[in-house]
């Protein structure tokens, strides 16, 4: 059997069968503390010394407040968000310290790709938007990402899994949120962005994913958060393996 055919099947079919491809997390337009995704994954052990968190997001907020799409907190008796990313760049924080990034300004109702990386060896967190480096922040020597914490999508948590504020609740959509057990390079992040929102995960980075988009979609949802279909064609899943002209034909006349 042709090896390329086998590769195509391995990449193409699981996403369709599992339902994660073209599935976005939709957070209602009316901000509420009831709308969130929350779970405590075991995989944070693989992120203690280095990690990357990357996702596509589209904010439909009608105000200029920071509205956080992901937060991670592990210390039960303190307001310490170890990871915090918003629909603006100036909302990005690492270990409860704002990264101090002020540009670019992000428009509403537009898809963006954001990545935050951090590595204990360099003691530095980096922020990227649409494949471009936009800022960095140094962290304390020896500071590691604590394990056993809680990830919350759509809310900023002042205590692990609680103390939400509707004025900080994310409204919009998330897609292809993946977490890696190392700090991706700027070139790798640029390549992920250039593949486009509808592309499958970069095959060269699959081994580094510790929490995948399919894991996120299986996490418990609260309130009116829904999994909805987006506008991507499933043929994008095989674009690395077939002729571009054939891909264009399939998407035009045999879309799935």
* pLDDT interval class at 1 (50, 70, 90): very low
Residue 104, strand partner residues: none
pLDDT at residue 177 in the model: 97
* pLDDT interval class at 246 (50, 70, 90): low
pLDDT at residue 15 in the model: 45
Residue-wise pLDDT for 75-93, tens only, equals 876 678 899 999 999 999 9
**pLDDT mean across residues, the chain:** 87
pLDDT at residue 158 in the model: 87
pLDDT at residue 45 in the model: 93
Segment 235-249 shows an average pLDDT of: 53
Segment 133-137 shows an average pLDDT of: 97
Residue-wise pLDDT for 168-223, tens only, equals 999 999 999 999 999 999 999 999 999 999 988 899 999 999 999 999 999 999 99
């Amino acid at each position: 059997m042709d090896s390329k055919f086998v590769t195509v099947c391995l990449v193409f079919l699981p996403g369709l069968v599992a339902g994660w491809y073209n599935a976005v997390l939709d957070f209602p337009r009316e901000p509420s503390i009831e709308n969130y995704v929350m779970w405590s994954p075991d995989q944070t052990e693989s992120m203690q010394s280095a990690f990357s968190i990357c996702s596509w997001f589209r904010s439909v907020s009608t105000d200029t407040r920071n509205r956080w799409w992901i937060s991670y907190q592990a210390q039960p008796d303190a307001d310490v968000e170890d990871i915090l990313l918003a629909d603006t760049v100036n909302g990005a924080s690492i270990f409860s310290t704002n990264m101090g990034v002020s540009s670019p300004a992000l428009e509403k109702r537009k898809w963006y790709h954001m990545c935050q990386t951090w590595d204990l060896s360099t003691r530095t967190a980096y922020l990227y938007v649409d494949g471009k480096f936009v800022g960095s922040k140094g962290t304390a020597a020896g500071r590691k990402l604590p394990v056993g914490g809680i990830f919350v999508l759509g809310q900023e948590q002042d205590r692990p899994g609680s103390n939400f504020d509707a004025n900080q609740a994310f409204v919009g959509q998330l897609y292809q949120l993946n977490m890696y057990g190392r700090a991706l390079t700027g070139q790798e992040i640029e390549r992920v962005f250039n593949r486009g929102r509808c592309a499958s995960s970069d095959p060269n980075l699959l081994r580094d994913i510790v929490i995948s988009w399919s894991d996120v979609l299986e996490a418990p949802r609260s309130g009116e958060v829904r999994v909805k279909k987006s506008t991507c064609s499933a043929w994008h899943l095989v674009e690395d393996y077939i002729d571009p002209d054939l891909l264009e034909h399939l998407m035009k006349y045999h879309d799935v």
